[in-house]
């Protein structure tokens, strides 16, 4: 771009336009746009079913709710961004090539960190009024309501997480067997995290026995059993017997605390091990979820399907919380919202438009002050 504009208008003008583009976060936008193209090109090549999705090229002045952004970009950007984030953290913790120099590590991985930040937070940076406190509270309320709504006949993806989750798997129900096999094979890459991390735990005491890996799977199966118990409890007690359901969750929580206390006191478990297990087990659970979704026609009528659905709900809750925490924190500071408004509508400010009244939704405003 610099060379093209430089040849047409001069390199001083090209350099100035390049700096202005960076200040307007053009790199963030185009990196995010690249993620959109990559995701849908890959899905179309693997499963087919290309379709047009309107993106809205108008002058955006309305605030999109957090749940709406999550529905739109969860599978195309947020999942991939979090996967890369875990990779970067694992490489920072266990990699040896650049451990001696933190500056060298940042130099090598800076572009990936930038892509992760763009894929995770670009929809919120370019979302007007995203960092206003009242908007944040309303978004959180709407998000919790959407996640908690049960799917059913006539429920759309905008009303219920369950309906949206099923619609996100529609392409898997119409694809070929070869595509499903490839989908499952690609999902197996997430198992590498668990295999590599469990042998670095202090509780493993530097053992290289296969028993360590087997015990890690026992822990994973225990977590899945707990999720199954929660699913059964929600079905039997969730509506009519709320007290019984809360007692069940309380018993499970006390059991978890007891097991962790024993492991800390006797087994030599450390906080570092807990964090490492989180990095190792989260990708494994996501692998199980992806395989379960790919095998949906075979297991949808079995008891396993409810567990897969609860696992998917848990992961979407975790991803939503990870994305929402920085937004909620920044919303505490009023200057962040002011800075975002100035960033998004800089040209309008320069021309004297009444941006605050436009964002407030007033109709009878003049074009200029």
Neighbours of 165 (CB within 10 A): 18
CA–chain centroid gap for 42, Å, is 19
**Long-range Cβ contacts of 37-45 (<8 Å, 24+ apart):** 39/75, 39/76, 39/77, 39/80, 40/76, 43/171
Please give the average per-residue pLDDT across 217-240, as a whole number: 74
Q: Are 281 and 194 in contact (CB under 8 A)?
A: yes
Please give the average per-residue pLDDT across 58-76, as a whole number: 82
pLDDT tens-digit profile of 329-363? Answer: 999 988 888 888 777 776 555 555 555 555 555 44
pTM: 0.82
pLDDT tens-digit profile of 299-321? Answer: 877 777 888 888 888 899 999 99
Please give the average per-residue pLDDT across 117-123, as a whole number: 93
CA atoms of 143 and 138, how far apart (whole Å): 8
CA atoms of 291 and 285, how far apart (whole Å): 10
pLDDT exceeds 60 at position 369: no
Residue 138 has a pLDDT of: 92
Please give the average per-residue pLDDT across 161-165, as a whole number: 89
Lowest mean pLDDT among 164-173, 180-189, 220-229: 220-229
CA atoms of 78 and 117, how far apart (whole Å): 10
pLDDT tens-digit profile of 133-142? Answer: 989 999 999 9
Q: Residue 104 — pLDDT band, cuts 50, 70, 90? A: confident
Domain layout of the chain by residue ranges? 173-332
């Amino acid at each position: 771009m610099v060379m093209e504009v430089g040849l047409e208008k001069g390199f001083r003008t090209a350099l100035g336009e390049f700096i202005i583009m960076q200040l307007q976060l053009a790199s963030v936008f185009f990196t995010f746009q690249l993620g959109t193209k990559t995701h849908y090109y890959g899905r179309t090549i693997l499963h087919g079913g290309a379709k047009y999705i309107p993106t809205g090229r108008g002058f955006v002045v309305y605030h999109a709710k957090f749940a709406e952004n999550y529905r739109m970009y969860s599978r195309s950007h947020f999942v991939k961004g979090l996967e890369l984030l875990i990779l970067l953290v694992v490489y920072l913790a266990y990699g040896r090539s650049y451990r001696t120099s933190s500056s060298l590590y940042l130099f090598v991985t800076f572009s990936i960190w930038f892509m992760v930040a763009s894929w995770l937070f670009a929809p919120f940076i370019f979302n007007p009024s995203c960092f206003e406190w009242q908007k944040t509270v309303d978004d959180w309320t709407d998000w919790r309501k959407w996640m908690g709504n049960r799917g059913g006949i006539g429920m759309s993806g905008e009303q219920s997480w369950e309906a949206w989750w099923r619609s996100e798997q529609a392409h898997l129900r119409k694809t070929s067997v070869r595509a499903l096999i490839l989908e499952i094979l690609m999902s197996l890459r997430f198992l590498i995290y668990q295999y590599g991390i469990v042998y670095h735990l202090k509780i493993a005491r530097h053992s290289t026995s296969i028993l360590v890996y087997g015990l890690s799977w026992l822990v994973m199966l225990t977590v899945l059993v707990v999720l199954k118990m929660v699913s059964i409890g929600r079905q039997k007690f969730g509506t009519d017997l709320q007290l019984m359901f809360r007692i069940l969750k309380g018993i499970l929580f006390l059991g978890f605390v007891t097991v962790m206390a024993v492991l800390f006191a006797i087994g030599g478990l450390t906080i570092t091990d807990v964090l490492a297990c989180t990095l190792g087990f989260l990708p494994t659970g996501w692998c199980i979820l992806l395989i379960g979704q790919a095998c949906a026609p075979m297991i949808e009528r079995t008891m396993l399907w409810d567990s897969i659905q609860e696992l998917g709900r848990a992961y979407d809750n975790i991803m939503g919380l990870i994305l929402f925490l920085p937004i909620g924190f920044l919303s505490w500071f009023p200057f962040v919202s002011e800075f975002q408004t100035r960033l998004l509508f800089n040209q309008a400010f320069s021309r004297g438009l009444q941006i605050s009244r436009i964002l407030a939704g007033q109709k009878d405003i003049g074009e200029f002050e």
